[in-house]
Amino acid sequence: MPLLRAIKCNIISPRIPFHLYNRNYCHSGAGEPFVPFDVLVNQRRNEARRSLLVEVAGLPSSTDLHQVCSQYGAVRKMFHYTTRHSNVNKEMILVEFDEAESLEKALQATRSPPTERIIPVHSPFVWLSASRTASSNRKKTNISSTTDIIQETVPSNEELQLQLSQSRDLSEQIQKSYECQKLTELGSRLRFFTCRQVEVALSGLFPQACVLPFGSSVNSFGRINCDLDMILELFDVTNQDTTQRLVFQAKKSRSAANPRITMQRHMEVISDILDNFVPGCSQVRKILAARVPIIKYRQDLTDMECDLSMANRSGFYMSEMLYLYGSMDKRVRPLVFAIRKWAKDRHVTSPYAGRWVTNFSLTLLVLFYLMRTSPPVIPPLQMLIKLAGDDDVRTAESINCTFLRDLKILTASDNKQSLEDLLRGFYEFYDKFDFKERGLSVVRGDDFVKPEHNALYIQNPLERELNVSRNVTLEELERLRSEITHARYRLEEDTEHIEEQQGQQPWGLLSLWGASHKPQAHRGLNASIDWQEVFHIQEQETPPTPDKQLNVSPVHA
Ligand code: GTP
Ligand code: MG
């Protein structure tokens, strides 16, 4: 007998925090439960494996949908959202079952549409067809309400501005701006679900296919509507079980001697599959000549821009590193958000790749600054590398991605500066920074003489001989610097006139986002720091083994 439970419509739930719920992992500096990255990713992937995305006629159909889905197993959660495509609104419901088997049963029961134009593809994206019997069935069944349908409310720009203008001070503005703009529960679920769709679509030919999100979707610096960066692996790189006697046969690749060409060919095929067969995928473009070849597309049904790459697991570990830094101290994420938003509004960054600073480089600039405050807010990466245990060892594409993953052994920073102080400090620090002569390393938490004549030199934390901001031209760096100088003065002016300004004209973040351009010159630079001294590490808990003290390479100085 199928479990029949009705749903209450239009119950608006508050935004569910992105962080999940395991209180065992609590790092004192973060002020909120710490969830290891692997745990978070596995939990989200499991949710996606139990989820179905259904296009419905409207919110009232959610009752029918719940009834239909309940035939296959218990429904745990339902999220409603509207997406707009080709000027038409689509009403979508993401259904999470209790068990993955229920989803399988539902998909097996999915019928083909009565037209040859639509190819039934193995995909967890379906639609609910109208049924003449559904409403009469519903009347006959006396259904009790047990599952809420969740609709997330995201403040509009105007609401955000109002909230910020009514804040007590700049610190409160920074915190509110973060709370209002960070990726939501549904946003996070849909990103993992969009990865799952590709995995499922390819699973017939590639049973071990694994698609993982990386970048701002998982590094905890993602805004609502951020793009989705994905890595596709056709085989399970983590399965090293050599005891098995049965091994996959391989088809000899025509260009085996050149792995890059092989990968480009595979990506050609995959982009054609996405373009021709996978529901919701539109505007599929191949950018295969890039350093990291990607397939770009739009997923219309989850409403996101997607970048799919292969052989790029180091990007995933890079995101894990950023996630860890975001988890170390509760001020890191709000500050990064404020600075990324400022850079976006001031056109220092752009959604398009080019000769300007990317969000990734900008985030490293913020982390570097937080390593240089006095006392530092966060430790340099080399300390996390030294503290890594056996479980932390990772290698991807021959790049060593080993660093401490469990933050429990770190103590909280002694730095007690407010968000306001840190934001001001960021602009002051980079207003004085000697970009012309010096590069930055978050590995050592120190600057160094630039080894090359790139305008901006930010050492790649994992491939240390590379500069992640190599693309930035002198002209764009100058623009960044003048915006920094201007932001600094704008905040100083705010301090002088705060009482007159509050309530009357934009102040704090609002004045930064809308401020005009006033370039200024830059000056000197900072002293170095004893990291071991500053962060008192409980080394006895996880003694670093000699072979883990790796690759803390002195940077090109
Ligand atoms: P937004 O998409 O702008 O919100 O931020 P993002 O952090 O996702 O940045 P982006 O989409 O540009 O890049 C995705 C991820 O790719 C980053 O988080 C990094 O992990 C990685 N990445 C970006 N740029 C570089 C680079 O220059 N070098 C390396 N090694 N990795 C990069
Ligand atoms: Mg991205």
What is the Å distance from ligand 1's center to 507 Cα?
31
The pLDDT-based confidence of 255 (bands split at 50, 70, 90) is low
The CB of 396 under 6 Å from ligand 1? The reply is no
The pLDDT-based confidence of 554 (bands split at 50, 70, 90) is very low
pLDDT of residue 473: 96
Nearest to 369 by CA among 172, 537, 526, 179: 526
CA–CA distance, 228 with 322 (Å, rounded to integer): 16
Provide the mean pLDDT of the chain: 83
What is the Å distance from ligand 2's center to 218 Cα?
9
* Ligand 1 atom nearest to CA at 470: 27
pLDDT of residue 352: 85
The share of the chain scoring above pLDDT 70, in percent, equals 80
pLDDT higher than threshold 50 for residue 557: no
pLDDT of residue 12: 31
Distance spanning both ends of the chain, measured CA to CA: 72
The CB of 349 under 6 Å from ligand 1? The reply is no
What is the Å distance from ligand 1's center to 363 Cα?
10
CA–CA distance, 86 with 155 (Å, rounded to integer): 24
Residue range 386-413: mean pLDDT, rounded: 92
The CB of 326 under 6 Å from ligand 1? The reply is no
Measured between alpha carbons, how far is residue 86 from residues 249, 300, 503 in Å?
Answer: 45, 9, 41
pLDDT of residue 498: 61
What is the Å distance from ligand 1's center to 89 Cα?
31
DSSP codes of every residue in 132-175: HHHHHHHHHS-PPEEEEEEB-----HHHHHHHHHT-SSHHHHHH
Residue range 224-238: mean pLDDT, rounded: 89
pLDDT of residue 339: 97
pLDDT of residue 154: 87
Helix axes 185-202, 37-49, angle to 10 degrees: 70
The pLDDT-based confidence of 522 (bands split at 50, 70, 90) is very low
pLDDT higher than threshold 60 for residue 553: no
pLDDT higher than threshold 50 for residue 373: yes
The pLDDT-based confidence of 146 (bands split at 50, 70, 90) is low
Token pair in block for residue 437: 């002569």
The CB of 472 under 6 Å from ligand 1? The reply is no
The CB of 364 under 6 Å from ligand 1? The reply is no
The pLDDT-based confidence of 408 (bands split at 50, 70, 90) is confident
Lowest mean pLDDT among 178-187, 196-205, 524-533: 524-533
Interface predicted TM-score (ipTM) of this complex, two decimals: 0.96
Half-sphere exposure of residue 209: CA atoms within 13 angstroms, side-chain side: 18
Secondary structure element (H or E) that encloses residue 52, with its range: strand 51-56
Ligand nearest to the CA of 465: 1
* Closest residue to atom 27 of ligand 1, CA basis: 468
The CB of 315 under 6 Å from ligand 1? The reply is yes
pLDDT of residue 133: 54
List residues bridging with 33 in a β-sheet. Answer: 26
Q: Is 500 helix (H, G, I), strand (E, B) or coil?
A: helix
The CB of 535 under 6 Å from ligand 1? The reply is no
What is the Å distance from ligand 2's center to 490 Cα?
30
Q: Which residue has the higher pLDDT, 241 or 267?
A: 267
pLDDT of residue 325: 97
